[in-house]
Amino acid sequence: MIACRIWLKVVPGSRRTEVAGPLGDRLKVRVAAPPEDGKANRAVCETLAAALGLRDRDVTVIAGHSSAEKTARAVGIDHVAAAARLGL
């Protein structure tokens, strides 16, 4: 199974939802969803999946569920293709 990990800096409650680009060794993602009841984590997964051309269920937050610094796992894409699609 092909998969990759993506280290994130998430900004919940933003005006818009977007992949903002690299921030140090992480990818900055802004989401409009509030950081409550997993809404921001779901929005992050949906946003990354769209940017990577994957289904929503193929991207999951695997670490940092209640932190701004998270680790996501994307199934069905390797790190080289993910970096290219995310503009890294």
The CATH number linked to 40 is: 3.30.1200.10
pLDDT tens digits along 42-77 = 999 999 999 999 999 999 999 999 999 999 999 999
Which pLDDT belongs to residue 87?
86
Residue-number span of the structural domain to which 75 is assigned = 3-86
Distance CA 1, CA 19 (A): 25
Q: Strand order of the sheet with strand 18-23?
A: 18-23, 26-30, 3-11, 69-75, 59-63
**How many folded domains does the chain comprise?**
1
Which pLDDT belongs to residue 60?
97
pLDDT band at 25 (very low <50, low <70, confident <90, very high): very high
